[in-house]
Amino acid sequence: MSISQPASGNPLNPLLDFSDLPRFGEIRPEHVTPALDVLLAAAQTAVERASAPATPASWADVVEPVERATEPLARAWGIVGHLNAVADTPELRATYGENLPRVTEFWSSVGQNLALYEKYKALKASIEFETLSHERKKILDNAVRDFRLSGAELPEEQKPRFAELQERQATLAKSYSDHVLDATNAYAYFVQHEPELAGLPEDAIAAAREAAERDGKTGWKFTLHFPSYFPVMQYAEHRPMRETLYRAYVTRASEQGVTYGGGQPEWDNTGNIAEQLALRAEEAKMLGYANFAEVSLASKMAQSPAEVMRFLDDLAVRARPHAEQDWRELREFAASELGLSDLQPWDMTFAAERLRQQRYAFSENEVKQYFPEDAVLKGLFKVTETLFDVRIRPDTATVWHPDVRFFRVERQDGALIAQFYLDLYAREGKRGGAWMDDARTRRRHAQGVQTPVAYLTCNFSAPVGGKPACFTHDEVITLFHEFGHGLHHMLTRVDESGVSGINGVEWDAVELPSQFMENFCWEWDVLSDMTSHVETAAPLPRALFDKMLAAKNFQSGLGTLRQIVFSMTDMRLHVDFDPAGPASALELAREINQQYHVIPQAEFSRWLNTFSHIFAGGYAAGYYSYKWAEVLSADAYAAFEEAAQAGNGSVLDSATGTRYRQEILEVGGSRPAMESFKAFRGREPNVDALLRHNGMSA
């Protein structure tokens, strides 16, 4: 079997079979190390051949063989990483941890390989470069930049330390994520007296009852997994219960963390945070940058940390008056209507939901009954099919859990474009949050075009009591968001894997297609077609939709400032914070909250200890990209609003959808994101649409 080509047949080790989809039903932890032995050896051999003095500096002799040999390694390790995130077991976690340093060391060695770097530079300076496609030119440009950021130009005596930094950071990120998952899994709150459940929705109570029964206990079990935790914060009238769960939630993975059956001190991420920040600062200085934020921004649209902070400051100034009004109204309502004159952090979500119900005469739980899973998926797929001229059909594949579904994306003639796995429900052993990941990238090889495959993962409430799963409107928005990422990956037409789909896209533009899709969740002609009451099958009433629309920007000022605190904390931690100094990262976060937010931060809060985006998710000095890309996505969506005004009144305009697909989705990372945006919109982006969508227009 040749590892450098897609394998055929049925290898004994399923991780070495690249002929089709992953064989999830057969993959076991004991397969990981032997598979990596083979794949790492093959990849290392290809790198050595490409970087040898006698090897010509050509695409066919250098770039192509390295890509061909490293792609199977990336795919196999991606499968292992995915399983580690969605089906965690002690055995899998152990083998993942044992092999993570090996994989990290390999990629570090490639990035620091000066001889290989010289081949890429020589190819870029050669006559052949001018004959390459623009996709291949972009891959070379990105590669030369990434070699520099990987330490290829460092003196040889410094490279071992730089490699140590990469390996240690990868290990710390995994530990950080493991600690958050373990601390979340380990907590339980049991209710024995039914009056304490007052205010909670029936489905939340039923889920808690089933959770207790699975543990062999009486009463109701609540956890810190979001589908269990959030309804308590939103609806529970029993204030001590809200306080207990809130304190447990915001102190997870910290020295204050409380768990059911006794806490584990090694789950405290405080030291992990300080060490990661110190290592990132050291890495930046070795590379000749003033701070790690400059390293992070070297591959993003934003030009400097100062530009990012000016952007955040400007947005904060625009949002603050709205946030101050939101906060004043919430406190006044809580005092006059709920008897909560001393509004505490564990009261805010509860009070906000009561204020929403009073002001707009509906509750989120009422809306939730209109969004059963199948109706939501039908609506999501209809939007996609109408705009982008594709069909989505159920498909078959072996999966890692019985709840996982699988689909194919086709052309109208039935030809396969892409496939995706859909894993919607929260469960133990599954990392929290929602994300899209790359199972397989589109690329052209000797056998033809390899079609892309995506993982789409969420953490929604599972079906309970024999009824289908129902989603809150926020969860529907989350699903559309992740599907937008999936479309970016799946609808690419680029055949070079290095810039296919989301590959090669600037990190602060990656959220454009995801946030763009969220907008359709606020359109009547979309929602009216994707709702069916779980009991009566009635569609969402127009009167209820109008209330939802009126409430769309409820407390949007507070929400914007919250995101700015997250983004500014992330940026400041990587610009001017000294991990060895007298102040802690948490103290800096509190200082920034005090400067930018109108709501004080709870003294006991340890939210940084679960801020996985920047300490375990690749968003270090990049969390601002959510707001940055929101400017792009809102402005892109405005093109559909303009088409609706000029045409038949529907934002589901296929002509505009075709242009968006061609100029944004299909080109992937083959050209700078700003060029793609301008090709679609005809101009550079502006912030007006974002402010209008958030009810903060001047």
Mean pLDDT across the stretch 685-690? Answer: 90
Q: What is the pLDDT of residue 5?
A: 35
In a domain, 2, yes or no: no
- Residue 633 to residues 21, 71, 404, 517, 521, Cα–Cα distance (Å): 32, 31, 29, 8, 14
Q: What is the pLDDT of residue 444?
A: 94
Q: What is the pLDDT of residue 698?
A: 55
Reduce the DSSP state of residue 515 to 3 states and report it.
helix
Q: Does 697 have pLDDT greater than 50?
A: yes
In a domain, 175, yes or no: no
Active-site hit among 167, 364, 475, 482: 482
> 497 with 412, same domain?
yes
Reduce the DSSP state of residue 287 to 3 states and report it.
coil
In a domain, 144, yes or no: yes
> 432 with 546, same domain?
yes
> 72 with 221, same domain?
no
Q: Does 87 have pLDDT greater than 80?
A: yes
Q: Give kind and range of the element (H or E) at residue 448.
A: strand 448-450
- CA–CA gap between residue 218 and residue 203 (Å, rounded): 17
Q: What is the pLDDT of residue 362?
A: 92
State the average pLDDT for the chain.
95
Six-digit token string for 635? 């402005």
Task: Report CA 646 to chain centroid distance, whole Å.
Answer: 35
Share of residues in the chain with pLDDT > 90 (%): 94
> 129 with 197, same domain?
no
In a domain, 338, yes or no: no
- CA–CA gap between residue 571 and residue 567 (Å, rounded): 6
Buried b (16+ CB within 10 A) or exposed e, 108-125: bbbbbbeebbebbbebbe
- CA–CA gap between residue 266 and residue 176 (Å, rounded): 10
Of 550, 573, 601, which residue is a domain's last? 550
> 195 with 62, same domain?
no
pTM, entire model: 0.92
Q: Give kind and range of the element (H or E) at residue 488.
A: helix 473-490
In a domain, 663, yes or no: no
**409 contacts 490 by C-beta, under 8 angstroms:** yes
How does pLDDT run across 35-64, given as a tens digit for each residue?
999 999 999 999 999 999 999 999 999 999
Q: Give kind and range of the element (H or E) at residue 394.
A: strand 391-394
Mean pLDDT across the stretch 382-395? Answer: 98
In a domain, 317, yes or no: no
Q: Which residues pair with 457 in a beta bridge?
A: 423, 435
> 437 with 481, same domain?
yes
Alpha helices in 125-238, H assignment, sequence order: 127-131, 134-149, 159-186, 202-214, 226-235
- Residue 7 to residues 13, 15, 69, Cα–Cα distance (Å): 12, 11, 12
Alpha helices in 338-442, H assignment, sequence order: 345-360, 364-368, 373-388
Q: Does 416 have pLDDT greater than 60?
A: yes
91 tagged catalytic: no
How does pLDDT run across 445-482, given as a tens digit for each residue?
888 999 999 999 999 999 998 899 999 999 999 999 99
| Closest alpha carbon to 556 in 360, 691, 366 | 691
* CATH code for the domain in which residue 144 is found: 1.20.1050.40
| Count of domains forming the chain | 3
In a domain, 44, yes or no: yes
- CA–CA gap between residue 260 and residue 262 (Å, rounded): 6
Q: How confident is the model at residue 2 (pLDDT cuts 50, 70, 90)?
A: very low
Of 238, 267, 296, which residue is a domain's last? 267
Of 219, 247, 267, which residue is a domain's last? 267
In a domain, 397, yes or no: yes
Q: What is the pLDDT of residue 264?
A: 64
Mean pLDDT across the stretch 306-333? Answer: 97
Q: What is the pLDDT of residue 446?
A: 85
Share of residues in the chain with pLDDT > 70 (%): 97
How does pLDDT run across 147-175, given as a tens digit for each residue?
999 999 999 999 999 999 999 999 999 99
> 83 with 145, same domain?
yes
> 481 with 530, same domain?
yes
Q: Give kind and range of the element (H or E) at residue 425.
A: strand 416-425
Instruction: Please give the single-letter amino acid code of residue 323.
Output: A
> 392 with 504, same domain?
yes
Q: What is the pLDDT of residue 47?
A: 98
Instruction: Determine how β-strand 220-222 pairs with β-strand 189-191.
Output: antiparallel
> 136 with 227, same domain?
no
* CATH code for the domain in which residue 391 is found: 1.10.1370.40
**585 contacts 605 by C-beta, under 8 angstroms:** no
- CA–CA gap between residue 291 and residue 281 (Å, rounded): 6
> 447 with 404, same domain?
yes
> 99 with 217, same domain?
no
Write the CB contacts of 415 (distance below 8 Å, at least 6 apart in sequence): none
Q: What is the pLDDT of residue 6?
A: 38
Q: What percent of the chain is helix, strand and coil (3-state, nearest 5)?
A: 60, 5, 35
| Closest alpha carbon to 545 in 560, 528, 562, 561 | 528
Whole domain around residue 252: which residue ranges? 187-267
Dihedral pair phi/psi, residue 459, rounded to 5°: -135, 65
Q: How confident is the model at residue 261 (pLDDT cuts 50, 70, 90)?
A: low
Q: Does 577 have pLDDT greater than 90?
A: yes
